[in-house]
Amino acid sequence: MNWYELRSEEVEKKVNTSLSNGLTEQEVKQRQKQFGYNELKEAERPSALLLFLAQFKDFMVIVLLAATLISGLLGEYIDAIAIMAIVLINGFLGFFQERKAEKSLQALKELSAPQVHALRNNEWTRIPSKELVVGDIIKFSSGDRIGADVRLIDVKSLEIEESALTGESVPVAKHVSPIDQGEISLGDQENMAFMGTMVTRGSGVGVVVGTGMNTAMGQIAELLQSAESMMTPLQRRLEQLGKILISVALVLTLLVVVVGVINGHDLYNMFLAGVSLAVAAIPEGLPAIVTVALSLGVQRMIKKNAIVRRLPAVETLGCASVICSDKTGTMTQNKMTVTHLWSGGKTWTVSGTGYDLKGSFFAGEKEIQPTDDKSLQQLLTFGVLCNNAVLKRNDDEIVVDGDPTEGALVVSGIKAGITKDFLTNQFEIIEEFPFDSGRKMMSVIVKDKTGNQFVITKGAPDVLLGVSESVLWNNKQQPLSEEYKNKIKDAIEDLASNALRTIAVSFKPIRQNQRISNERDAECDLTFIGIQGMIDPPRPEVKAAVKECKDAGIKTIMITGDHLITAKAIATQLGILPPGGKVLDGNTLSKMEVDELEEIVDDVYVYARVSPEHKLKIVKALQSKGHIVAMTGDGVNDAPAIKASDIGIAMGITGTDVAKEASSLVLLDDNFATIKSAIKEGRNIYENIRKFIRYLLASNVGEILVMLFAMILSLPLPLVPIQILWVNLVTDGLPAMALGLDQAEGNVMRRSPRHPKEGVFARGLGWKIVSRGFLIGIVTLAAFMIVYGRDPNNLGYAQTVAFATLVMAQLIHVFDCRSERSVFHRNPFQNMYLVWAVLSSVALMLVVIYYPPLQPIFHTYPIDPRDWLLIIGMSAIPTFLLAGALLTRSRSPKAA
Ligand code: ATP
């Protein structure tokens, strides 16, 4: 079907819809049932079985399985079966961890799934793009990605970039007339918009004529695969480190075996012990636990309204040293209310809060009728006419569908009795040049009942002043002399210094036979009418968030399209602009090169009247000064800066699809305070990962060293293979997972940001691992030697004591890992997951030691209660000895 050949009424009939009302829910349900969801098929994920089998592909695990098989064949059935069981359980755990990681990544993807504006039951609603069916009416505007294939029925300066389909990156101007040229290529179908292409300018409405695999995109789409690497820098570093750790573990294990054999141990026993040790000591589970910790952190971020689109961002968040944030809607509430109006030297105020429709007009103290003053009436009328916002009632509240700035103008109009319904009866809008934050203006061409046409432009007052030739003063049109200009500038500054956002209105009549086809011709030679000033109160939580960021060594910079004085007033209120801090405006910024900006960038706290392209310059200057930059944005033009920054942040409510796609973090509530929470969480996740790396590796070092020292000292094996494997599974597994759920340390937002190139073992972690691991090994060996020395005929009992000491030493040490400082700095009961993990490990250990049927399997003997004193005493040493030493050192004046 060539939809582009049909007229819109024919399309309406063919797809059985109503262009004015859209489909009903019932029709939608039925079509979804019949034709399925609007989705492109994705490549199938590996099956559960494959994922499970992948857990055993590790070289050492295969060696262990082979060794077990041999021992089974040699008649050691119990050992063989027990080892198999442990390997299997380990495999299951790995499998579940990976599944969980994968599922949460998938859930994340669904959370950031695109939405579209569709007309259903005669009402515009936002729905997930996946729910579109043929016959739906959808609308879109600059920055949106088209959700399905549509035949356009209404366009306003619509341009669409279709490179995803055609390879052509120059946007195509769209129209609605049928094209009667037989078969034409996609790129020439100018009255169509295709799934996956991007609106770069203007807006449009269309009827869905193809969904899912029945779209142009569906036909060319290979099975979609996300090519993007989701690995974080730390994961990559750990992968490299893993290889080194494996080699080290293997060399040490080999050493244990060789020394053991030289000192007279049985080769077969040493082989099995060696392989078990290698399996235990190789931190093969580390990458999976890191992914789980990352994705758990990501889940916590979602609860705080931050959606991570790219996992690596979680880590980078913890390194952020500068946040560049938009003002409107992010730092402020984006609930605008016009409070002041100015025209021809006169000022009025308007009462009322929020979008409440009740309010009166005052000249000084005196209430007035706004319709009595012609210029005031015109200011209000034109504000409503050049406007796309619609007010809606949501329960008891009035909400704005559209731009809140425009919503405020609609409300100020209604307060004066000027409604959009009334005006659309009087005037026909025949052309619109949409607002963009580069021009900072929007214009419409309207025709009144007598056929007269004129341009109405509204926008930033200083910009409008530049394109106006005359001014309405005392209801008379006057040439815009320097004197008038200065008076208007004073008025703008006066309003802005009260932290008001200002919008001016201008107009011009269009002469007969004058043709205006672009915004340049429209937005010139205007007559300046007046200014509306609106408040946009700061979000209450932002001031504290800015302060918290400051304490965390993170600078907050405000970037706004608003007037410099407005921005300055709000930045001061929020504690962003310190005394002596610099404020820069877009004009100055345009004239600067990046290296000039670099020189002063550290002193600038507010950028005002900027255009989106300035943001890129700011990011670059900050980055070349070594900063890790978080940058927010919402529009199409913000995308390059979002991409270039280290952490691109898009607004979830007001953000366009393009901005969201470019970002690595989406704020569901558009709130600056959410960025702070995400950074805090980012720091915490990284710290948690450090915590369990520390725990796991120190445990492994302890396990290897106890065996190595025993072999060097010509002692018998202090642990049997199955005990080593048990420690690896239970003691190392559960508490490490619980560390991933740990809360942030109290001082996490009182430290400077982490350096992004910081190594895994930085800040003393390597030393902590080696020293604690060494001590764990020593105390285990000491306990073994004491008991073995007491009764050399009872090796099994001494091994059981060594086993219990190793387990207990690790379980006590896990609490030390929770703090970068020492075990005394944190309340152990704060993380109840950890307490339960430790208690279950202890319980499982007791079962293995005291439950008779398990004793032959684990080669254990019931421990005499008196020996528990020895075990507990020994196992507390690694944690408390060092912590105590550290504490005294940090209290001694010399160390301070
Ligand atoms: P930010 O979100 O970055 O803080 P902003 O939203 O205030 O900035 P813009 O939307 O670019 O920045 O607005 C810049 C200026 O353009 C405003 O101060 C206002 O004067 C004018 N303006 C804003 N919205 C509109 C609109 N819908 N129509 C006409 N002019 C507008």
Q: 354 and 460 share a domain?
A: yes
- At CA 255, angle to CA 249 and CA 261, rounded to 5? 135
- Count CB-CB contacts under 10 A for residue 864: 12
Q: For residue 802, what pLDDT is reported?
A: 96
Q: 275 and 289 share a domain?
A: yes
521 CA distance to ligand 1 middle (Å): 21
Distance CA 319, CA 752 (A): 9
Q: 217 and 240 share a domain?
A: no
Taking the model in full, what pTM does it have? 0.81
Q: 826 and 766 share a domain?
A: yes
- Structurally, the chain folds into a number of domains equal to 4
Looking at 162, 192, 224, the residue that finishes a domain is: 224
Instruction: Tell me whether residue 90 is in a domain.
Output: no
Instruction: Tell me whether residue 67 is in a domain.
Output: no
Q: 637 and 763 share a domain?
A: no
Looking at 480, 509, 535, the residue that finishes a domain is: 535
pLDDT at 227 over 60: no
Instruction: Tell me whether residue 244 is in a domain.
Output: yes
Please report, for the domain that includes residue 764, its CATH number. Answer: 1.20.1110.10
pLDDT, averaged across the chain: 87
- C-beta of residue 350 within 8 angstroms of C-beta of residue 412: yes
Q: For 438-470, what is each residue's pLDDT tens digit?
A: 899 999 999 999 989 999 999 999 999 999 999
- The ligand 1 site (C-beta within 6 Å) comprises 326-329, 403, 405-406, 435, 437, 440-442, 458-460, 501-503, 559-562
Q: For 755-813, what is each residue's pLDDT tens digit?
A: 878 887 888 888 889 989 999 999 999 999 999 999 999 999 999 999 999 999 999 99
Residue with the smallest CA separation from ligand 1 atom 13 is 561
Please state whether beta strands 501-510 and 453-459 pair in parallel, antiparallel, or not at all (unpaired). Answer: antiparallel
Query: Virtual CA dihedral for 667, 671, 677, 678, nearest 10 degrees?
Result: 20
203 CA distance to ligand 1 middle (Å): 18
Per-residue pLDDT band for 110 (boundaries 50, 70, 90) equals low
Q: 473 and 510 share a domain?
A: yes
595 is catalytic: no
**Which residue out of 144, 326, 634, 867 is catalytically annotated?**
326
pLDDT at 429 over 70: yes
State the chain's maximal CA–CA distance in angstroms: 115
Residue with the smallest CA separation from ligand 1 atom 3 is 560
440 CA distance to ligand 1 middle (Å): 6
E strand segments, 600-722: 604-608, 629-633, 647-651, 665-667
Please state whether beta strands 322-326 and 629-633 pair in parallel, antiparallel, or not at all (unpaired). Answer: parallel
Q: 403 and 496 share a domain?
A: yes
Choose the most confident range, by mean pLDDT, from 229-243, 367-381, 736-750: 367-381
Per-residue pLDDT band for 739 (boundaries 50, 70, 90) equals confident
Instruction: Tell me whether residue 158 is in a domain.
Output: yes
Please report, for the domain that includes residue 464, its CATH number. Answer: 3.40.1110.10
Q: 640 and 522 share a domain?
A: no
Per-residue pLDDT band for 892 (boundaries 50, 70, 90) equals very low
pLDDT at 225 over 50: no
Instruction: Tell me whether residue 60 is in a domain.
Output: no
Instruction: Tell me whether residue 70 is in a domain.
Output: no
Q: For 38-88, what is each residue's pLDDT tens digit?
A: 887 766 667 778 878 777 776 656 766 776 777 677 666 776 777 777 778
Looking at 617, 643, 670, the residue that finishes a domain is: 670
Q: 611 and 623 share a domain?
A: yes
- C-beta of residue 114 within 8 angstroms of C-beta of residue 128: yes
The arithmetic mean of pLDDT across residues 216-236, rounded, is 61
Residue with the smallest CA separation from ligand 1 atom 12 is 561
- C-beta of residue 271 within 8 angstroms of C-beta of residue 289: no
Q: 599 and 527 share a domain?
A: no
E strand segments, 163-313: 172-173, 192-193, 198-210, 306-308
Best CA proximity match to 210, nearest among 38, 40, 29, 42: 38
Looking at per-residue confidence, does 435 or 878 come out higher?
Answer: 435
Instruction: Tell me whether residue 402 is in a domain.
Output: yes
Instruction: Tell me whether residue 68 is in a domain.
Output: no
Please report, for the domain that includes residue 666, its CATH number. Answer: 3.40.50.1000
Q: 289 and 343 share a domain?
A: no
Work out which ligand 1 atom sits closest to the CA atom of 611. Answer: 11
Q: For residue 827, what pLDDT is reported?
A: 77
Q: 509 and 562 share a domain?
A: no
Work out which ligand 1 atom sits closest to the CA atom of 327. Answer: 4
Distance CA 512, CA 533 (A): 34
Residue with the smallest CA separation from ligand 1 atom 2 is 328
Q: For residue 754, what pLDDT is reported?
A: 87
Query: Which amino acid, residue 170?
Result: V
Residue with the smallest CA separation from ligand 1 atom 26 is 435
Q: Which residues span the domain enclosing 218?
A: 3-39+116-224
